Structure 1
């Protein structure tokens, strides 16, 4: 009966990046200089090491407890048609294939609820957006939860209405579709740092400022490589340079949190399977049960 915005929910960062196509051209999310460099196949191999932030497929993430997905999408410039792909430096799978994979999990687990956050769009005009939105609708149909007051959306509410999917769409066209939630209902402040202490300080500050007025909230427990980080550790890649070393400290911060109106809601991480990330986030909800018992 608690609003989903008051629960601790595990999410993944750049959720789709478990597979990127190093043979395809570099995506329109990259600077011109990188696009030029990436004509060399070795450069694309190195890019892959820094573009991949997850090892698990959508199905594996869902089975592992992840319920929030951070999605960036793009058309392929020069390609005929309006197909939309996931993108992080390099192109990933077709969005349609990812949506179908998620839907088949939901078919098998009718009480599960997922959040899909479409927050970056590249090389897309209105016709691409309408194409993508139609795809989203045909993948999930009646499972889509229409925009509602955030506080009303509890698991009970979702079960009663047989809804399983909340779509956040960070583009003005959300206004034309009742099943698209505005992006401002899913703020995800970004620390943009390689320093774990600065990250944790940022997470604390943004949590303290968390709007109490009807939004979900994403704590991005991730470190972001700078150009010089990549230059110094070219071959090692993101996982070996930043993630492995700092995950234990990040996980300790997670363990110290508490869900609720003033607390954490969605927490995202890179390489969610490296530590017991999803289970740790989900376990925070036991604190709400303890609170409930002590109140009664």
Structure 2
């Protein structure tokens, strides 16, 4: 199967996004934005300790640097940068954040997945640069995991978001039934920021914070494709029966178990699980009987098997 490059994808995907449904109410409650799992886990550092999202045992074993090389092979979930993902059409970003422990030389807020990645400020800068040159593009930032944060560091995180983007681009909370691209273009909104209410009820007073009630994202936590798609079909159909007014994420991902890593020590998440999973996901969504059930579709390694193109084509079908 043809594997597209980012330069191949960018022109057609970008043109599509500018066109799609300017007057369609609740565009994301019925359509399927492209979404990357652990979006910024394309670059993870082995020259720093194991990240604080892992347990004590792995952090202790991970003091040996060569072990961290093995950890990285099983922790990387994407192979392209945030800018390359944006150019490929990804518009929902799944974000995990940490304040690194004091025994590291890292400062500030970092992304992570078993190992620490880039500083969040650099990633937000790149996203803002893209949005400034693409005024009609809209993204969702789903900040769903926070490690080692307290009230002070969480306030710093909120300030970082506000300083990284023009406040006028941060979409205020509103019912999804009133959200459309036409509405967002009219007022210059480009970012929906979903953030859990962890540290203060005062967060609810910040108009641009969309709370955890605005999204449902069932986690399969399985390592077999047959179990995965059974789970996805059941949860997807159950959600459609409830008619909840919220974003819904279909997590088309496999999770490696400890025994999987032990049986494949020289392999990686990508080679053992993710590439096969992305391939089967593309086939599954292409033949799914009710494509209108989909909302946000999440995958690892989004630059394989025409994932972005297939989801865009799904949108075209729904428009027609």
Bin for the TM-score computed over the shorter chain:
over 0.9
Deviations 1:185-242 (A, max 9, x none): 1111011111101111111111112141210100000011001011111221101111
Matches of 1:154 and 1:246, distance apart in 2: 32
Match of 1:204 in 2: 233
Residue 176 of structure 1, CA deviation? 3.5
Query: Residues of 2 paired with 1:37 and 1:82: CA distance?
Result: 23
User: Are residues 24 and 62 of structure 1, via their aligned partners in 2, closer, same or farther at CA, if it must alter by over 3 Å?
Assistant: same
**Residue ranges of structure 1 left out of the alignment (5+ in a row):** 291-296
- Alignment partners' CA distance in 2, 1:179 and 1:215: 16
Equivalent residue number for residue 294 of structure 1: none
Distance between the aligned counterparts of 1:233 and 1:224, measured in 2? 14
TM-score for both structures, normalised by structure 1: 0.94
Partner Cα separation in structure 2 for residue 58 and residue 105 of structure 1: 10
Match of 1:76 in 2: 100
Trace 1:57-206 onto structure 2 (pairs within 5 A): 57-78=81-102, 83-141=108-166, 142-172=168-198, 173=200, 174-206=203-235
Query: Any idea what the Cα deviations from partners look like across 1:97-120, whole Å, max 9, x if unmatched?
Result: 111100100011100000000000
**CA–CA distance in structure 1, aligned partners of residues 147 and 319 of structure 2:** 43
1:128-179: CA deviation from partner (whole Å, max 9, x where unpaired): 1110111111111211001000111111111011000000002344414211
Q: Which residue matches 1:32? A: 56
Give the Cα separation in 2 of the matches to 1:167 and 1:243: 27
**Residue 220 in 1 paired to residue 251 in 2?**
yes
Could you report, residue by residue, the CA deviation over 1:24-78 in whole angstroms, capped at 9, with x for unpaired residues? 1111100100011001111100000011000110000000000000000000121
CA shift, 1:82, in A, is: 6.8
Q: Secondary structure of the residue that 2:185 maps to in structure 1?
A: helix
Aligned residues: 288
After superposition, the CA RMSD in angstroms is 1.5
More divergent stretch after superposition (204-213 vs 14-23): 204-213
- SS of the equivalent of 1:209 reads helix
Whether contact under 8 Å (1:219, 1:268) holds in the other structure is yes
CA contact 1:82–1:128 (8 Å) conserved in 2: no
Q: 1:82 to 1:18 in 2, by over 3 A?
A: closer
* Aligned residue number for residue 293 of structure 1: none
- Cα displacement (A) at 1:81: 9.7
Bigger drift between 83-92 and 71-80 goes to 71-80
